[in-house]
Amino acid sequence: MAVPKRRQSKSRSRKRRSHNAVKPLELAHCPQCGTAAPTHVVCPNCGYYQGRTMVEVEG
């Protein structure tokens, strides 16, 4: 069975993991009400998505 000959340095391991950081959600403004909401998601405030009302919101 193959076994590493040398231990990987912290620097090498951390360089590999540099792309694993969690990135913040990108928010877009709803064209209907102007509320910031994640992209490709029905607006939680007015229920608007892709040019039409998808969900009837109470209020």
pLDDT in tens, 4-53: 999 999 999 999 999 999 999 899 999 888 999 998 999 888 888 888 88
Q: Is 5 part of a structural domain of the chain?
A: no
Range of the domain at 49: 24-59
Q: Is the model's pLDDT at 59 over the cut of 70?
A: no
Q: How many domains does the chain have?
A: 1
Q: What is the pLDDT of residue 56?
A: 81
Q: What is the pLDDT of residue 50?
A: 86
How far is the C-alpha of 16 from the C-alpha of 8, rounded, in Å?
11
Q: Is 44 part of a structural domain of the chain?
A: yes
How far is C-alpha 49 from the chain's CA centre?
18
Q: Is 8 part of a structural domain of the chain?
A: no
Q: What is the pLDDT of residue 58?
A: 73
Which residues 6+ apart lie within 8 Å of 33 measured at CB? 43, 45, 46, 48
Q: Is 9 part of a structural domain of the chain?
A: no
Q: What is the pLDDT of residue 8?
A: 95
